[in-house]
Chains A and B, each alone.
Chain A
Amino acid sequence: MFIINCPYCGEREQSEFKAGGEAHIVRPKQPTELSDDEWAEYLFMRKNIKGIQFERWNHTHGCRKWFNMVRDTSNDEIKAVYKMGEKPPVD
Chain B
Amino acid sequence: MTKNLRLKTGKAIDETYRISFKFNGSTYYGFKGDTLASALLANDIHLIGRSFKYHRPRGIMTAGSEEPNAIVQLHNDSSRTEPNVRATEIEIYEGLEASSQNCWPSVNFDIGGINNLLSPLLPAGFYYKTFMWPASFWEKYEYFIRRSAGLGKSPTKPDPDIYEHKYIHCDVLIIGAGISGIMAAKIAAKNGLKTLLVEEKPNLGGSTIYQNSDHFKINNQNSGSWLEKEINEIKKLKNLEIKTRTSVAAFHGYNFLLARENLTDHLPMNQRNDKTRHKLLKIRAKKVITATGSIERPMIFDNNDRPGILLSSAIKKFADYFGVACGEKNILFTNNDSAYETAISLIQKGINIEAIIDNREEVNSKLIYEVEKNNIKIFKGYTVANTFGYKRINKISIMQLSKDGQKVVGPKIILSCDCLGVSGGWTPAVHLFTQSGGKLKFREDDQVFLPNIYPSDQLSIGACNGDFTLDEILRNTPKSLIKYLKIKNTDYDNLEVSSSTNKSKRNIWLLPSDKILGKTKSFVDYQNDATAKDIKLALREGFRSIEHVKRYTTTGMGTDQGKLGNMHALGIVSETAGAKMGELGTTTFRPPYTPLTFGTIVGRNVGEYFDIFRKTPIHDWHIDHKAEFENVGQWKRAWYYPKENENMHDAVQRESKAAREGAGILDASTLGKIDIQGTDASEFLNRIYTNAWSKLAVGKCRYGLMLNEDGMVYDDGVTTRLDENHYIMTTTTGGAANVMGKLEDYLQTEWPELDVYLTSVTDHFATVSVCGPNSKKIVSQVIPDLDLSDENFPHMSFKNAKIGNINCRVMRISFTGEHSYEINIQANYGKSVWEKCMEAGKDYNITPYGTETMHLLRAEKGFIIVGQDTDATMTPIDLQMDWIVSKKKYDFIGKRSLYRSDTIKENRKQLVGLLTDDPNEVLEEGAQIVADINKSPIEMLGHVTSSYYSPNLKKSIALGVVRGGKNMMGQKLIIPMEKKNINVIVADPVFLDKENKRLNA
Contact = CB atoms under 8 A, between A and B. Distances in A.
B745 A58 contact: yes
A64 B743 CA distance: 12
Contacts of B752: 84-85
A20 to B, nearest CB: 7
Contacts of A60: 741
B741 A3 contact: no
Given A60-B741, A75-B455, A66 B749 contact: yes
Interface in A58-80: 58, 60, 64-66, 75-76
Interface string A35-66: 01001100100000000000010101000111
Nearest to B740: A64
A31 B894 CA distance: 10
A39 B897 contact: yes
B748 A66 contact: yes
B745 A1 contact: no
A1 B591 CA distance: 14
B793 interface: no
B707 to A, nearest CB: 12
B434 to A, nearest CB: 14
B254 A32 contact: no
A3 B284 contact: yes
B750 interface: yes
B710 interface: yes
A34 interface: yes
Nearest to B902: A36
B897 to A, nearest CB: 7
Given A32-B890, A32-B891, A39-B897, A20 B256 contact: no
Nearest to B282: A1
A87 interface: no
B897 A1 contact: no
A31 B254 contact: no
Contact of A2 (B253, B437, B709, B895): B253
B900 interface: yes
Contacts of B254: 1-3, 14, 76
Given A32-B896, A34-B896, A65 B748 contact: yes
Given A1-B256, A2-B254, A75-B437, A43 B710 contact: yes
Nearest to B167: A13
Contacts of B252: 1
B895 to A, nearest CB: 7
A41 B206 CA distance: 60
Contact of B901 (A36, A66, A85): A36
Contacts of A14: 254
B744 interface: yes
Contacts of B749: 56, 66, 84
Interface string A1-30: 111000000000110001010000011001
Interface residues of B, number: 23
A56 B752 CA distance: 16
Interface string B151-181: 0000000000000000000000000000000
- Which of A31, A39, A60: most chain B Cβ within 10 A? A31
Contact of A32 (B256, B284, B748, B895): B895
Contacts of A85: 752
A65 B744 CA distance: 8
Interface in B74-116: none
A46 B748 CA distance: 21
A39 B256 CA distance: 42
B455 A31 contact: no
Contact of B253 (A1, A40, A84): A1
Interface in B733-752: 741, 744-745, 748-750, 752
Interface in B207-258: 252-254, 256
B195 to A, nearest CB: 20
A1 B745 CA distance: 24
Nearest to A1: B256
A2 B254 CA distance: 6
A56 B745 CA distance: 10
A14 B254 CA distance: 10
Interface in B695-734: 709-710
B745 A43 contact: no
Contacts of B750: 26-27
Contacts of A76: 253-254, 437
Given A1-B253, A32-B890, A84 B748 contact: yes
A56 B900 CA distance: 27
A15 to B, nearest CB: 10
A34 B897 CA distance: 11
Nearest to A14: B254
Contact of A20 (B455, B745, B900, B901): B745
A22 to B, nearest CB: 12
A66 B752 CA distance: 11
A4 B982 CA distance: 57
Contacts of A75: 437, 455
Contact of B745 (A26, A30, A66): A66
Contact of A36 (B284, B745, B900): B900
Interface string B419-454: 000000000000000000100000000000000000
B751 to A, nearest CB: 9
Contacts of B890: 32
A58 B901 CA distance: 33
Interface in B887-923: 890-891, 895-897, 900-901
Nearest to B760: A64
A43 B709 contact: yes
Contacts of A65: 748
A31 B896 contact: yes
Interface string B738-772: 00010011001110100000000000000000000
Contacts of B748: 65-66, 84
Contacts of A18: 741
Contacts of A30: 891
A39 B900 contact: yes
Contacts of A31: 891, 895-896
Interface string B588-621: 0000000000000000000000000000000000
Contacts of B744: 64, 66
Nearest to B748: A66
Contacts of A66: 744-745, 748-749
B745 A39 contact: no
Contacts of B256: 1
Contact of A58 (B284, B741, B891, B896): B741
Contacts of A40: 900
Contacts of B900: 36, 39-40
Contacts of B891: 30-32
Interface string B126-161: 000000000000000000000000000000000000
A3 B252 CA distance: 12
The 9 closest A-B pairs by CB, nearest first: A31-B896, A1-B256, A66-B748, A27-B750, A3-B254, A76-B253, A39-B896, A2-B254, A66-B749
10 contacts: A1-B252, A3-B254, A3-B284, A27-B750, A32-B890, A39-B900, A40-B900, A64-B744, A65-B748, A76-B437
Interface of A: 1-3, 13-14, 18, 20, 26-27, 30-32, 34, 36, 39-40, 43, 56, 58, 60, 64-66, 75-76, 84-85
Interface of B: 252-254, 256, 284, 437, 455, 709-710, 741, 744-745, 748-750, 752, 890-891, 895-897, 900-901
Given A2-B253, A31-B896, 6 more contacts: A1-B254, A13-B284, A18-B741, A43-B710, A76-B254, A84-B749
